[in-house]
Amino acid sequence: MRTIARLLSTGARILGSVLLICIAANGTIAAAQPYSSGQEAYANRDWGAARAIWTAEAASGSAEGLLGLGNLLDFGLTGPPDREAAFEMYRKAALLGHPEAAFNMAVMLDSGIGTPVDKRAAAGWYSMAALDGFARAEYNLGLIFQSGDGVPANARVASAWLQRASNAIPSSADALAASPPASATELAAPTILQVLLLGEGAAPSARVAWASGPGPEGSRYRVEVVNTATGHLIASAEAETTAIAMPLQRRPQSAWVRVLQLTARDYASSDWVDLEGQPVVKGPGRRVRFQVGSADRRAAGYVQRMGSSLERSGIVVSYDDRDPDQDASAIVYGFDSDMTFATDIAGFLPGLSGGNAMQQSDAGISPGEVVVRMILDSSDEAEPIALDQSAGSDR
């Protein structure tokens, strides 16, 4: 029944186009005239002119042109309906970030029109449209997570999406009443549904959608994008729903993405995927961040040698300045799952494997990361030195 309700929510799009066809069949097509856009020709029911304009625009990579051609093919406005071709046009426009194309594509995947049914992929494309505030996509996404149709059921996430749609779609209130928020005792590793890298120049962004079980009360999601070549973070952000648009400082040539469900003390991670959403055979290793005082020559030399050794074993290494108020060496980790890794790192550092040297902190430490604070000379009188920062963050 939820699937039926979800598909019925898309009826306005189909009915509106059918009415246009009926009007055109019983009325008079406007005489050929120049139009400022394909949408203007479409509004005047001049399907041939709309097709000509949108074909030219689509050839130059216009998402609007591709969407328009998809509509003409979908509803048979210039010939017999060709849903398979329409789906392909919607897909190309959706890959360029067009929310209506993403929604239309999701509906077809959801219902098996023009393409085989794929509920999981439908959830991913509904998510892409929902990121732009497309209310029907938010509503359908809420129903999907409520029923667990193709994704793990997650009443908390379902409620969040339905709430977002409630101002535009009144029936969201009834669905919300049937979806009381729920939590679980165990963290649930997310599954990435869709990744899109959009934008050029000064405003690139990564769009990521995922699914997971509800997780413990108060859990949230963290998305990480890393440089494929170095494993260093390009960007990270947190979300309470299951999709995010993350601004990037620059468009990466190649990157990997993962999503984590986390609490204050622990996390569960998705597999790494590339920018096309394909699984990565071997993603980046865990991270070690060394903190050394600018004048501590002995510590700098030691961690540089240790860092090189760790990098050869697949660990991602970076270097940072030590807070001058810190006066003792330590190994610091943020999450329970990283305690064993921190203990292993301590094994390389005589004198730091026990007592107060091992610390857990929630102060800016990422999942999978251990901070090694090394102090061998606390004097600030020596000349400052510069560590090799080639292994630093790409952010």
Which helix (H) or strand (E) covers residue 255, if one does?
A: strand 255-262
Residue 155 and residue 23 in one domain: yes
Residue 148 and residue 56 in one domain: yes
Q: Is the pLDDT of residue 251 over 70?
A: yes
CATH of the domain at 14: 1.25.40.10
Confidence of residue 33 (pLDDT cuts 50, 70, 90): low
Residue 217 lies in a domain: yes
Residue 131 and residue 9 in one domain: yes
Distance CA 36, CA 70 (A): 20
User: Could you please report the per-residue DSSP string of 21-60?
Assistant: HHHHHHS-PPPP---SSHHHHHHTT-HHHHHHHHHHHHHT
Distance CA 122, CA 305 (A): 49
pLDDT of residue 325: 75
Residue 185 lies in a domain: no
Q: Is the pLDDT of residue 21 over 90?
A: no
Residue 204 and residue 259 in one domain: yes
- Residue 208 belongs to domain spanning: 191-274
Residue 182 lies in a domain: no
Does residue 80 sit in helix, strand or coil? coil
Residue 43 and residue 162 in one domain: yes
Residue 49 and residue 80 in one domain: yes
Q: How far apart are the first and last CA of the chain?
A: 46
Please identify, among 223, 243, 274, the residue that sits at the C-terminal boundary of a domain: 274
Please identify, among 177, 202, 223, the residue that sits at the C-terminal boundary of a domain: 177
- For the entire predicted model, the pTM comes to 0.85
Residue 43 and residue 172 in one domain: yes
280 against 395, higher pLDDT: 280
263 against 374, higher pLDDT: 263
**pLDDT tens per residue across span 154-183:** 999 999 999 999 999 999 989 988 877 777
Residue 96 lies in a domain: yes
Residue 14 and residue 163 in one domain: yes
Residue 282 lies in a domain: no
Residue 186 lies in a domain: no
CATH of the domain at 308: 3.30.70.2390
**pLDDT tens per residue across span 355-377:** 568 899 988 899 999 999 988 87
pLDDT of residue 3: 53
Please identify, among 225, 252, 274, the residue that sits at the C-terminal boundary of a domain: 274
Beta pairing, strands 330-333 & 358-360: parallel
Structure tokens at 111: 């219902």
Residue 240 and residue 336 in one domain: no
| pLDDT above 70 as % of the chain | 85
Residue 312 and residue 250 in one domain: no
CATH of the domain at 228: 2.60.40.10
Count up the domains in the chain and report the number. Answer: 3
Contacts of 112 (CB under 8 A, 6+ apart): none
Confidence of residue 94 (pLDDT cuts 50, 70, 90): very high
Residue 212 and residue 161 in one domain: no
**pLDDT tens per residue across span 279-290:** 998 889 899 999
Does residue 360 sit in helix, strand or coil? strand
Residue 184 lies in a domain: no
Residue 197 lies in a domain: yes
Averaged over 224-249, what is the pLDDT? 94
Residue 165 and residue 262 in one domain: no
Q: Is the pLDDT of residue 9 over 60?
A: no
How many C-beta atoms surround the C-beta of residue 243 within 10 A?
Answer: 27
